[in-house]
């Protein structure tokens, strides 16, 4: 990865840990909170989305792109709801490292199946990350047993991890699809939009791909009260959504700067360190030695993988 891509992802990781603190302190329903977060950002970015669409032209957007965007929205919803429900059941110091580290190995395997090159050293780094992930839930080493990983908080964290792995791969494919069409019809060398512009457009479309399905589910299932709850938490939801937008906008830009999406996903997990610090300093959660060792292994694995 280039230095610029690394810096962008690290800034994104810090912001990611920040909005997760807001998610943990949310008292409303998980669905209404993240619906409002996504809806606020979708509305905020809509003028830009319209400008981008008009200047690019309808032929710029293939059927494949819209399919990928829809699937990304589904995985984003799985991630957000999984994370939100996990925070209702367990400490952020437990849930956050699990939800962030597990996608590394998942995305590595998927990327390999898609033909991307992953070196043995990078696999070693990924395994260290997974090893650290296994230690994070423990307070002492002798607690290492299957029963300590089988609780509802960790189950939801695993569901969130599946969502992360899914949208990470799909988003890279969708961005590649957009970039491949990013040329003037009169010239194969003249780009229509710059890479940051593409990243912002895709980010805004993602928020619509999250908000619209959630809103439709509320209507179809008779959960109109979710809209009322969403309105009550509009301020914290907007703040969380804004930080989410900054966070993932930077990640999407980093994806445009590198070919190997698994490295981007791996580096994002430095947010685990920020998340653990925030959990202790802001939420006053207990700091266990095994969590420190686990985070140390995760950080070592990140450095090796890069």
- 211 pLDDT more than 80: yes
Exposed/middle/buried for 2, CB within 10 Å: 0-12, 13-18, 19+?
A: exposed
Structure tokens at 268: 């994002």
| Structural domain range at position 124 | 3-182+193-305
Q: Provide the CB-side half-sphere exposure for 91 (13 A, CA).
A: 19
In a domain, 46, yes or no: yes
| Number of domains, the chain | 1
Interval 129-145 mean pLDDT: 74
Distance CA 20, CA 162 (A): 17
In a domain, 241, yes or no: yes
DSSP state at residue 153: H
Residue 229, SS3 per DSSP: helix
In this prediction, residue 48 carries a pLDDT of 95
- 202 pLDDT more than 80: yes
**Which region among 66-70, 136-140, 155-159, 238-242 has the lowest average model confidence (pLDDT)?**
136-140
Q: Which residues contact 302 (CB under 8 A, 6 or more apart)?
A: 125, 129, 266, 267, 269, 270
In a domain, 137, yes or no: yes
CB 85 within 8 A of CB 30: yes
In this prediction, residue 90 carries a pLDDT of 77
In a domain, 188, yes or no: no
CB 153 within 8 A of CB 86: yes
Q: Which residues contact 19 (CB under 8 A, 6 or more apart)?
A: 239, 240, 243, 244, 247
Please report, to the nearest 10 degrees, the dihedral formed by the alpha carbons of residues 152, 153, 156, 158 taken in order.
Answer: -110
Distance CA 255, CA 70 (A): 19
In a domain, 221, yes or no: yes
- 110 pLDDT more than 50: yes
In this prediction, residue 147 carries a pLDDT of 65
CB 75 within 8 A of CB 149: no
**pTM for the whole structure:** 0.77
In a domain, 164, yes or no: yes
In a domain, 226, yes or no: yes
In a domain, 7, yes or no: yes
In this prediction, residue 150 carries a pLDDT of 66
pLDDT tens readout for residues 30-87: 888 889 999 999 999 999 999 999 988 888 898 999 999 999 999 999 988 888 888 8
Residues 221-260 as b/e (b if ≥16 CB within 10 A, e otherwise) read eeeeebeebbeebeebbbebbbbbbbbbbbbbbbbbbbeb
Percentage of the chain modeled with pLDDT above 70: 85
Sign of CA dihedral 95, 114, 258, 199: negative
């Amino acid at each position: 990865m280039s230095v610029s891509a690394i810096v962008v992802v690290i800034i994104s990781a810090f912001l990611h840990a920040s909005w997760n603190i807001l998610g943990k302190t949310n008292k409303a329903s998980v669905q209404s909170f993240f619906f409002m977060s996504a809806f606020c950002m979708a509305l905020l970015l809509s003028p830009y989305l319209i400008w981008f669409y008009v200047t690019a032209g309808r032929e710029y957007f293939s059927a494949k792109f819209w399919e990928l965007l829809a699937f990304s929205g589904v995985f984003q919803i799985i991630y957000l709801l999984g994370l939100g429900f996990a925070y209702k059941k367990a400490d952020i110091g437990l849930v956050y490292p699990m939800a962030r580290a597990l996608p590394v190995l998942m995305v590595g395997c998927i990327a390999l199946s898609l033909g991307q090159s992953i070196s043995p050293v990078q696999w070693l780094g990924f395994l260290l990350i997974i090893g650290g992930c296994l230690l994070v839930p423990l307070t002492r080493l002798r607690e290492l047993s299957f029963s300590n990983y089988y609780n509802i908080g960790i189950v939801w964290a695993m569901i969130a991890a599946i969502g992360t792995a899914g949208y990470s791969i799909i988003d890279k494919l969708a961005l590649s699809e957009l970039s491949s069409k990013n040329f003037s019809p009169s010239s194969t060398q003249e780009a229509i939009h710059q890479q940051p512009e593409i990243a912002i457009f895709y980010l805004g479309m993602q928020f619509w791909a999250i908000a619209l399905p959630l809103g439709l589910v509320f209507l179809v299932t008779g959960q109109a009260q979710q809209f009322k709850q969403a309105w009550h938490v509009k301020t914290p939801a907007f703040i969380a959504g804004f930080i989410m937008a900054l966070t993932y906008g930077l990640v999407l830009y980093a994806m445009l700067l590198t070919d190997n999406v698994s490295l981007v996903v791996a580096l994002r997990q430095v947010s685990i360190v920020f998340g653990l610090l925030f959990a202790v300093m802001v939420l006053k959660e207990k700091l266990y030695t095994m969590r420190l060792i686990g985070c140390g292994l995760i950080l070592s694995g990140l450095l090796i993988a890069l």
